[in-house]
Amino acid sequence: MAKSLFEERLNSGKFLVTTEIGPPKGTDISEMVHHIELLKDKVDAINVTDHQSSVMRFPSLGGCLLVREHGGEPVFQMTTRDRNRLALQADLLLAYSRGIRNVLCLTGDSVDVGDHKEAKPVFDLDSVQLLRMIRIMESGKDLAGNDLKGAPEFCIGASVHPATDSIEPQLIKFDKKVEAGAQFFQTQGVYDLDCLRRFMQYASQFNVKILAGIIVLASARMAQYMNDNVPGIVVPQAVIDELAGAEKGKGLQKGIEIAVRLMKMIKDENLCHGVHIMAVGREGIVPDILEAAGLGVSVHV
């Protein structure tokens, strides 16, 4: 029996589509709720980011609760940057109890790249240890070996970076995550499909679902900025040039064009099991992208 709706969809064999929502910096959640309503029926799951880029925001767990409330299928992005193992376990217990059954286990960006550079980085666990911890909790024990009064069950995933220039260490990490129990992977932004192909040659030996990360860029400058400052993002020069070549004011359109092109190719060639769209603050355009990519099908709740 599947642990969550998303898991069902993972196992169904269909081409998967997920996207992410970044919560606001503040109590005004109106826009986030609007985006949830907009996307909940169009994707297989909605990720809520956890202080992405170490910028303080409304919490991921809170965002997931809202997704649930509004009838969507949330993926709880959990980093280990801010909470120790007690807090992490507690949040998981709460998440499960409120029907949030999918967790994306991440180490998290370093505090130094964010907007609270003097904060204490916790990193009591890393992503691999978090994956394992969830499996331990599922067996009815907490991390210290005490019995749980009611054990949770989760569909768990992790991230991977196929486009990294140090691929061997990354693959060692990937192996560890698979061994730890990850069922699905949402990759960092992918532009080079050959790279994705090579990665999939390796990853397909495992029984895991890979969703290629698609980042929607709006300009060459944005691409360059992300390249330089955002961890895990590698935009190839060709793409930057393509963006730069766009007509003035048509940057975003070009960006969407590139994203759609990638998504189509991935789907058509069955390169991996799905895509994960990262609109980076422009969640509103996601439905259009899906439409353009031929993935704009409603999904049943």
Partner 1 sequence: MTVCGAGGEREVSLLHSALKVAQARGGNEAHSFLEYTVKRQCDFEFLDMLEDRVGEVDAILSLGCGIGVQVIAERFPDIPVLPGVNTSFMGASKEWGVWDERCAACGECRLDETGGICPITRCVKGILNGPCAGSKSGKCEVSSDMDCAWVLIYERLERLGQLEKMRRYYPPRNFRTIPRPRRIVSKADIDLGGNDG
In this complex, which beta carbon is closest to partner 1, that of residue 30 or of residue 146? 146
The answer to whether 36 and 296 are in contact (CB under 8 A) is no
CA-based nearest residue to 115, from 55, 26, 59:
55
CA distance linking residue 166 with residue 61, whole number of Å = 32
Say which amino acid occupies 283: E
Interacting span for partner 1 (CB under 8 A) from 28-36, 171-179, 191-199, 277-285: 171-179
User: Which tokens go with 243?
Assistant: 């963006």
Interacting span for partner 1 (CB under 8 A) from 38-46, 166-174, 216-224, 261-269: 166-174
In this complex, which beta carbon is closest to partner 1, that of residue 116 or of residue 250? 116
118 is a site residue for partner 1 (CB under 8 A)? no
CA-based nearest residue to 18, from 3, 34, 5:
5
231 is a site residue for partner 1 (CB under 8 A)? yes
State in angstroms the smallest separation of the CB of 82 from partner 1: 12
Among 128, 137, 226, 275, binds partner 1 (CB under 8 A): 128
Interacting span for partner 1 (CB under 8 A) from 153-161, 247-255, 257-265, 287-295: 153-161
Q: Kindly give the residue spans of alpha helices, DSSP state H, lying in the chain.
A: 5-11, 30-39, 60-69, 85-97, 127-138, 167-180, 193-203, 220-229, 237-244, 251-269, 286-292
In this complex, which beta carbon is closest to partner 1, that of residue 133 or of residue 217? 133
CA distance linking residue 96 with residue 74, whole number of Å = 11
Among 55, 164, 192, 236, binds partner 1 (CB under 8 A): 164
CA distance linking residue 120 with residue 70, whole number of Å = 34
End-to-end CA distance of the chain: 17
127 is a site residue for partner 1 (CB under 8 A)? yes
Phi, psi (deg, nearest 5) at residue 48 = -110, 125
In this complex, which beta carbon is closest to partner 1, that of residue 35 or of residue 177? 177
Interacting span for partner 1 (CB under 8 A) from 30-38, 106-114, 145-153, 260-268: 106-114
CA-based nearest residue to 107, from 81, 145, 140:
81
Give the interface with partner 1 as residue ranges (CB under 8 A). 81, 85, 106-110, 112-113, 121, 123-129, 132-133, 143, 159-161, 164-166, 168-170, 172-173, 175-176, 179-180, 188, 231-232, 234
